[in-house]
Amino acid sequence: MEEQKEEQKYVEFIITRQDSPDSPPYEERFKVPYRKNMNVISALMEIRKNPVNAEGKKTTPVAWEMSCLEEVCGACSMVINGKPRQSCTALVDQLEQPIRLEPMRTFPVVRDLIVDRSRMFDSLKKVKAWIPIDGTYDLGPGPRMPERKRQWAYELSKCMTCGVCLEACPNVNSKSNFIGPAPLSQVRLFNAHPTGAMNKAERLAAIMGEGGLANCGNSQNCVQACPKGIPLTTSIAALNREATVQMFRNFFGSDYS
């Protein structure tokens, strides 16, 4: 007796598409052959191999970004079933169908699910989210960070600039210049570094002005959405204290740290 072949299952996707930055968005449905343990990226790869929509019409491959495929690079951020997250760790078996894929709307859409995250990278430049070491490389190793401080600083260093926290934050939008949770948390990280502390006052000045700490509405959406579990609201609270101290130092003209 011949074994009966198991009927092929399909996963249905509703993908919000956009042909160019200036063109209107539209929805397109796709049916992807189901495989066990597949993630959203796997499904998008299937669509790219065979760009035919659910109506059987040939279409253009869906455009999206990816790199590491292990939730480290932050490139594959999108809105999945209404929630901003990484598509590489979004398993089809754990998602309600039809699965809706949309681009993050906090950032300008380039095409389909690809967005321009320049807003976030410009904010990182504004707060000087790096350790300036030019001219110091021949001075030998710098001061060591105490282990207790290193442990919580490491948690902040997990940020992969995915933009999910900015997408989840109601205060980051086209009508606001709020830099958002990720750049703020990076201020705390680099101010905690023994060498980075030399630019502490400069970083605090950058977030004490327009678009900085005062624009945070404390909705706490960011800490719930962060795929790396970074304590973003704790960082913002700590920065509020540091900014207050810095304000008094500025007022009284003190240059001690």
Dump pLDDT digits (tens) for 15-41: 999 999 999 999 999 999 999 999 999
Instruction: Read off the pLDDT of residues 68-110 as tens digits, 9 standing for 90 and up.
Output: 999 999 999 999 999 999 999 999 999 999 999 999 999 999 9
d(CA 190, CA 138): 22
Which range has the worst mean pLDDT, 43-47, 147-151, 234-238?
147-151
pLDDT of 1 > 50? The answer is: no
pTM reported for the whole predicted model: 0.90
CA distances from 191 to 41, 149, 256 (A): 36, 12, 15
CATH 1.10.1060.10 residue ranges in the chain? 118-252
Whole-number percent of the chain with pLDDT over 70: 96
CATH 3.10.20.30 residue ranges in the chain? 10-115
Average pLDDT, the chain: 93
* Domain spanning 10-115: CATH superfamily: Beta-grasp domain (3.10.20.30)
pLDDT of 257 > 50? The answer is: no
Provide CATH code, domain 118-252.
1.10.1060.10
Q: Quick one: average pLDDT of 181-191? A: 97
Instruction: Read off the pLDDT of residues 110-135 as tens digits, 9 standing for 90 and up.
Output: 999 999 999 999 999 999 999 988 87
The amino acid that residue 166 corresponds to is: L
The pLDDT of residue 253: 77
d(CA 245, CA 127): 18
Beta carbons of 77 and 163 less than 8 angstroms apart: yes
Q: Quick one: average pLDDT of 237-241? A: 96
d(CA 62, CA 73): 20
Q: In what order do the strands lie in the sheet with 26-33?
A: 26-33, 10-17, 99-102, 77-80, 83-86
